Amino acid sequence: MKNTLVRFAGMAALASGMVFAQTAAPPAQPLSPGQRWQQRRGRMFDRMAARLNLTDAQKEQARAIMQSARESGRPVAQQLKQNRLALHDAVKAGKPDADIDQLAATTGSLMGQATAIRTKAFAKVYALLTPEQRTKADQLGSHGRGMFMGGHEHGHGAGAGS
């Protein structure tokens, strides 16, 4: 009995020593907002591709189309960001209504350009789909702002939803 107790105490001491001897894993580097958005976009694409049962060739073509839209949308997104900052500054500076109207009109034009870039990309991807896949895509779109409905994720600029 005494021997068992000694063994148990020794095992407990050894186990607790092992627990304390382990080094903690280094903390994971936090992702930047852009990296988080890129991961999210990738997961959304993968989910859409699985739901539509895209072939590998369709996935490759769709990714290329969406990447091209993101690249062509970057300048528009940058202009939109700058224009939004100018609107913010105009409000803080007490600019006249005419200045704010002009900046707001520019924002609307830029948002229209971003929507056109994104929607044209979606149209190209939609054209790649088989009739069965189009039916599924249409059904997915009917449950809200789907991929082929011209939906836009707020605040991410031109092509960001692509």
Location of structure tokens 């991929």: 147
For the ranges 30-34, 45-49, 98-102, 114-118, which has the lowest average pLDDT? Answer: 30-34
Of residues 145 and 30, the one with the higher pLDDT is 30
Which pLDDT value is given to residue 160? Answer: 42
**Residues 107 and 15 sit within 8 Å (Cβ to Cβ):** no
Query: What's the mean pLDDT in 28-41?
Result: 76
Q: Please state the rounded mean pLDDT for residues 91-103.
A: 96
Confidence label for 147 from pLDDT (cuts 50, 70 and 90): low
Model pLDDT, residue 79: 97
Say whether pTM exceeds 0.85.
Answer: no
How many CA within 13 A on the CB side of residue 6? 3
